[in-house]
Amino acid sequence: MPVADFATYCRMLDNAQKKGFAYPAINISSMVTANAVLEAFADKRCDGIIQVSTGGGKFASGLGVASEAAGAIALAEYVHRAAEHYDVYVALHTDHCQAEKVDSFLVPLIEETEKRRARGLPNLFQSHMFDGSALPLDRNLEIALELLERCSKSEIILEVETGVVGGEEDGVSNEDAPSEKLYTTPEDMVEVYRRLGAVEGARYMLAATFGNVHGVYKPGNVKLRPKILAEGQKALKQAFGEQAHLWLVFHGGSGSSREEIHETIDYGVVKMNVDTDTQYAFTRPIVDHMMKNYDGVLKIDGEVGLKKVYDPRSYLKKAEAGMCARVKQAVDDLKGAGTTLYR
């Protein structure tokens, strides 16, 4: 699986919009979770997106380093090597970088790609997300425009967000966000297209919100209104012509019904983030292993335990398989099976 270059990544996203499917964007925090995603994409013959959050990067760098950027770089370098063993495309992306972390997280990663390109090497990451949703729209887009201009020079796609995704992720809480902030307006989408579309040759994605919430909630607790996306795409065409459209991203998709997911695809979603569900799928087999092997993983009453069950490999292999199965489900939910462009 070669890591996609800019032209291939753009072709992937255009193909998804044209053919009516979307790519799962799966968060990773270790080599084990990366392997689960790569195997799932390959088994389903679906290209896909692997992404690293600030928290995922910090975790991957180790307790002694605790560097969001260093961990993200290490994970991306691993994926570049591991991907060579599979026959589908994968793109590397960074998730939710708030404005206060642009200089400490996003800029070092863009600089890393700039250094690689100067040496004739491929981009480390193919896209990055700037999350300025907590800012007034004008300031959000002002920063996004600066980042897009820089990213475009290195053939990096930028993802931006308008509106707020509720719930909590990576320690950032929007649980008390005003309800109106959970829904992007058509006017917001038109402004994004107008401002960012001015950067010639640049490509970008928009995470427009329609009631999305990070995490999983009981049925009825989350009020999704996917038609907001259709209204925004319609407003674009009215303002800029029939060719106008946006690559849309679905955040906070964990726990959504297949019908809701398919409706968003109909309105232009080409990427859906999946994290909470895959975290549970990874952890559940570990819990099962520990409960079934309680007296083997612990040295109880002076006993020595059982090495073959407290060896981390014994339960991490099960965790990898559990996460792999959940990623495959995500591919099916997004209608992506068999859509790879790799030949």
For residue range 270-302, what is the model confidence (pLDDT) as tens digits? Answer: 999 999 999 999 999 999 999 999 999 999 888
State both tokens at 225: 């209104």
* Residue type at position 210: F
Whole-number average pLDDT of the chain = 92
**Distance of CA 300 to CAs 67, 241, 297, 304, 312, Å?**
37, 71, 9, 8, 18
Cβ neighbours around 55 below 10 Å, total: 18
Instruction: Give the separation between CA 62 and CA 72, rounded to whole angstroms.
Output: 11
pLDDT of residue 155: 98
Task: Out of 47, 95, 170, 333, pick the active-site residue.
Answer: 95
With CA atoms as reference, report the closest residue to 251 among 321, 172, 190.
172
Tokens 């910090």 identify what position?
58
Which residues make Cβ contacts (< 8 Å) with residue 257, sequence separation at least 6?
A: none
Share of the chain above pLDDT 70, in %: 92
8 A C-beta contact, residue 310 and residue 297: yes
pLDDT of residue 253: 75
pLDDT of residue 137: 94
SS3 144: helix
pLDDT of residue 302: 84
DSSP label of 239: H
- Burial code (b: 16+ CB inside 10 Å, e: under 16) for 92-105 equals bbbbbbbbebbeeb
With CA atoms as reference, report the closest residue to 318 among 290, 298, 337.
290
pLDDT of residue 129: 98
pTM for this model (two decimals): 0.92
Question: In CATH, what is the architecture of 6-333?
Answer: Alpha-Beta Barrel (3.20)
pLDDT of residue 114: 98
Per-residue pLDDT reduced to its tens digit, 132-170: 988 999 999 999 999 999 999 999 999 999 976 544 455
Per-residue pLDDT reduced to its tens digit, 219-250: 455 578 899 999 999 999 999 999 999 999 99
pLDDT of residue 70: 98
pLDDT confidence band for 216 (50 / 70 / 90): low
pLDDT of residue 300: 86
pLDDT confidence band for 343 (50 / 70 / 90): confident
* 220-227: long-range pairs with CB below 8 Å, 24+: 222/166, 222/252, 222/255, 224/256, 224/260, 225/183, 226/260, 226/263, 226/264, 226/267, 227/263, 227/267
Instruction: Decide if 43 is catalytic.
Output: no
Per-residue pLDDT reduced to its tens digit, 64-113: 999 999 999 999 999 999 999 999 999 999 999 999 999 999 999 999 99
**72 or 179: which leads in pLDDT:** 72
Query: What is the distance between the terminal CA atoms of the chain, rounded to a whole angstrom?
Result: 10
